[in-house]
Chain A
Amino acid sequence: MFGSLKIAMVAILITGIAGAGMYVMKLRSDNAILKANQLKLESAITDQKQVIENQKKDFEEILDANKKVNALINALQNDLNDLDRRFNKKNRDIGKLAIQKPKPIERIINKGSANATRCIEIASGAELTENERNATKKSEINPECPSIANPSYVPY
């Protein structure tokens, strides 16, 4: 009677110890998994931070590109308006002027035409010359397209 009770007690004790051991082992295994998860999460956070940083940089670059395109559109429009102004400055009639002084007007027209031709070359990607790059005075610039031909020129 007591013998079988003892055996049962010992069996329960052994089972208890084994169970506790297994539980501890499970806890250790869970702990290892949690540590690995923590590392993965930290790495994911770093990656995400990098992605956000890159996106921020991209947005800034896009904004900057937009600003520059708008500035270029405005500058080109100013050149176009200026051409219109030169033709009609103070009710100027280029036809009448040409009748009165055909030779000087021919010279002016040909100079303007050469300048406009150079503007198209620049717009198509031609490199600026040293003189064009450094021009700051009205007498030095290409009046047909100063915004693209003379980057150092500030209208005055």
Chain B
Amino acid sequence: MLILATFLTNCSGVKKLSIFKEEVPRAQLNLDKPTALQLEEIKWIIITSDNAEEVFNKMKEQGLDPVLFGLNDKDFQLIAKNFAQIRNQLMLTNDLLDKYKKYYETDVNDTNTKK
């Protein structure tokens, strides 16, 4: 009995727990950049009271519906400026995205610097 007790108490030792921390880096997002736009070319037609008939006749000859969606000269300037602002914002956002990627993902190709 005594021998058995000795066996049980001495041989079945409790192992020391070893707790360790290992830093696991956060998985990278790695989203692909959106494909660059390929825009369609549009054609502006200038129509005045003098050339209106000629313009509409030409459109009919070309098989186009003789209808125009118009802007006056001031609104044309505004639409040009609006597009320029949208372009600037797009450029800035893309540039910021590249900079964030470059900062947080070291092996990223900065497309803007490639240009």
Contacts and interface: CB of A to CB of B under 8 A. Distances in A.
Contact of B91 (A76, A105, A114): A76
A79 B85 CA distance: 10
B73 interface: yes
Contacts, number: 115
Size bracket, chain B contacts: 35 or more
A121 B38 contact: yes
Interface in B45-91: 45-48, 50-51, 72-74, 76-77, 80-81, 83-88, 90-91
B41 A114 contact: yes
Interface of B: 33-39, 41-48, 50-51, 72-74, 76-77, 80-81, 83-88, 90-92, 94-96, 99, 103, 111-112, 114-115
Interface of A: 61-62, 65, 68-69, 72-73, 76-77, 79-80, 83-84, 87, 93-95, 98-99, 102-103, 105-106, 109-110, 112-114, 116-117, 119-128, 133, 144-145, 148, 151
